[in-house]
Amino acid sequence: MNIGEVSEAAGLPAKTIRYYEEIGLIAPLRGGNGYRRFTEAHLHKLAFIARARSLGFSIEQCRTLLALYEDRGRASADVKAVAQTHLGEIDAKMAELTEMRRVLADLVHACAGDERPDCPILTGLAAPVTGD
Amino acid sequence: MNIGEVSEAAGLPAKTIRYYEEIGLIAPLRGGNGYRRFTEAHLHKLAFIARARSLGFSIEQCRTLLALYEDRGRASADVKAVAQTHLGEIDAKMAELTEMRRVLADLVHACAGDERPDCPILTGLAAPVTGD
DNA sequence: ATAAGGCCTCCAGTCACTGGAAGGTCAAGG
DNA sequence: CCTTGACCTTCCAGTGACTGGAGGCCTTAT
């Protein structure tokens, strides 16, 4: 397969696949014309990466997961550890966003949103709201 | 004030303040020795930016908010629009994270996490779980 | 012969910093 | 007066994970 076909099949832009090759995530063959040639195994790997990425795993985590995937002697505990680390990262981001959302929603709620200049959002940013 | 003092007061690294100057967010004065000189007004602006950034506003949104903050003839509706756009971005990210978390937590839950190689996380990444 | 579309490489840009090198400035102590 | 150390300066490069574009080769169809 050429890059266009795997791109379509894996749901990844061709540019991204070239980038993955550049950073050593995949190693497609080359045809006599210089075109990358992909096998089914390459496609599987790319689809694996695409799914891992869509779950938010970093490229380095994907690299680790791929290595574990291809290591028949792996311990599932090692996989689980990577996934749990990532789950923790997701939870941390969610907590951060939740807190942002809470504060921001309060400010938005307090703002009249008309043509007058008075704006609790701006005063809230100029000085944090305290309990006083 | 020198940069170290405002850095301390605004809670922003000196590097970040220099960066903000480079992109035109603030324009400190210069002393004869070439050092940046900051006034109270500069400090206020930096604190404003720091709070907006901590709520997740992008630099460009901060630039807009600062301009509105300094425009006495602003309409609060304009401020509210920026904040609501950002609220929407936060909600979109939260939805994305929530979905990631849901799928990932299922996979983690299904994984024994012992020294055996069988791992639902890896099989789930190799082929998405379908309802079949 | 040519036109369209796919493929190639290389370079630059994104966002918001962050790290580090090389060097100038300032206040205090010896 | 000299040194030490803290503070400041600029400039360059790197982060993560791509993305866009220029310029050019390859293939297939008309």
CB-strand contact A2/D, under 7 Å: no
Which residue of A74, A77, A114 is in closest CB contact with B77?
A: A114
Q: How confident is the model at residue A131, as a pLDDT? A: 60
Q: For B79, what's the count of Cα atoms within 13 Å in the CB-facing half-sphere? A: 33
Would you list the DSSP string of chain B? --HHHHHHHHT--HHHHHHHHHTTS---EE-TTS-EE--HHHHHHHHHHHHHHHTT--HHHHHHHHHHHH-TT--HHHHHHHHHHHHHHHHHHHHHHHHHHHHHHHHHHH---SSSS--HHHHHHHS-----
Q: How confident is the model at residue B127, as a pLDDT? A: 85
In the stretch 47-76 of chain A, residues with CB closer than 8 A to chain B read 47-48, 51-52, 54-56, 65, 68-69, 71-76
Q: What average pLDDT does the structure give for chain A?
A: 95
Q: How confident is the model at residue B128, as a pLDDT? A: 76
Domain B1-57 sits in CATH 3.30.60.50: no
Give pLDDT tens digits for B81-92: 999 999 999 999
pLDDT surpasses 80 at A23: yes
pLDDT surpasses 60 at B131: no
Give pLDDT tens digits for A74-103: 999 999 999 999 999 999 999 999 999 999
B118 vs A: CB within 8 A: yes
Averaged pLDDT, A26-38: 95
Q: What average pLDDT does the structure give for chain B?
A: 95
Give pLDDT tens digits for A119-132: 999 999 998 776 66
Q: How confident is the model at residue A127, as a pLDDT? A: 85
- In the structure encoding, which two tokens stand for residue A38, read together? 């992909």
Q: pLDDT exceeding 90 applies to what percent of chain B?
A: 95
Averaged pLDDT, A56-62: 97
Q: pLDDT exceeding 70 applies to what percent of chain B?
A: 97
pLDDT surpasses 80 at B132: no
Q: How confident is the model at residue A132, as a pLDDT? A: 60
Q: Which residues of B touch A68 (CB under 8 A)?
A: 119, 122
